[in-house]
Chains A and B, each alone.
Chain A
């Protein structure tokens, strides 16, 4: 059974860097794309970006310049880096697996990591 297990620092100060990792267990990295999505009560669900083994890594333009996604095949995990965080980046962050069968969809999600930004 494929699972996503995510972790990372949950409390940050403004201007710090958010770093989250998501481990993929029980299944391959190839053939899928790997995404990060965040959620707040105010803005709802917001797609951050996605990456796959082709190296293609589109990001949400609203975060362009601050966000980097990477994929580590040796460890079977993928990561999110978001620099210069502000209170607006406080959210529940989810990693998710994307699938392109017929159409593209997110069929597997991590458990979520709550990120708070406070001085």
Chain B
């Protein structure tokens, strides 16, 4: 199985801050990286597919980058609605695997 390691596991930030979450895959997953946002009691919501493709309706303050084994999710200016847990996920092969999550809360 491809292991996905996210860092940090949690972080505190303020509205307007720029934050970056990193995800490392245990082997190369050429662009097969997706990012999801999850709020308590809700299903995950797709933010970015194929490492860099912003989904329709997702604010442009979100962006994704990376290749090979290292990928990042960046929020350029945190908004109140962005405080949630974020997950990376590889779709290069089965079993599809997720990172352990990064909990983003208000400082």
Which residues from chain A sit less than 8 Å from chain B, CB to CB? Answer: 35, 44-47, 50, 58, 60-62, 94, 96, 101-107, 109-112
B49 touches A (CB below 8 Å): yes
Which listed residue, B36, B43, B53, B91, touches A104 by the CB 8 Å rule? Answer: B91
Beta-carbon contact of A105 and B87 below 8 Å? no
CB-based nearest B residue for A110 = B43
- Asked, given contacts A58-B94, A103-B50, A106-B46, whether A44 binds B100 with beta carbons under 8 Å apart, the answer is yes
Complex contacts, B31 vs chain A, CB 8 Å: 103
Per-position binary interface string of chain B over residues 1-40, scored 1 when its CB falls under 8 Å from any chain A CB and 0 otherwise: 1000000000000000000000000000001111010000
CB-CB nearest in chain A for B44:
A109
Q: List 29 A-B contacts (CB under 8 A).
A: A44-B87, A44-B98, A44-B100, A45-B44, A45-B87, A47-B94, A47-B97, A50-B94, A58-B95, A62-B95, A102-B49, A102-B53, A103-B31, A103-B32, A103-B34, A103-B49, A103-B50, A105-B46, A105-B49, A105-B50, A105-B89, A106-B34, A106-B44, A106-B46, A106-B89, A107-B55, A109-B43, A111-B43, A112-B43
For the side of the interface on B, what is the size category?
20 to 34
Q: Which 10 A-B pairs have the closest CB atoms?
A: A109-B43, A104-B91, A103-B50, A45-B98, A105-B49, A47-B96, A58-B94, A105-B34, A60-B95, A102-B50
What 1/0 flags go to B83-99 for Cβ under 8 Å of A?
A: 00001010100111111
Provided the pairs A107-B55, A109-B43 are in contact, do residues A45 and B49 lie with their beta carbons within 8 angstroms?
A: no
With a cutoff of 8 Å between Cβ atoms, the chain A residues found around residue B50 in the complex are 102-103, 105
Q: Which residues of B contact A58 (CB under 8 A)?
A: 94-95
Q: Contacts of B97 on A, CB cut-off 8 Å?
A: 47
Name the residue of chain A whose CB is nearest to the CB of B45: A109
| A60 contacts across to B, CB distance below 8 A | 94-95
Residues of A within 8 A of B43 (CB): 94, 96, 109-112
Min CB gap A54→B, angstroms? 14
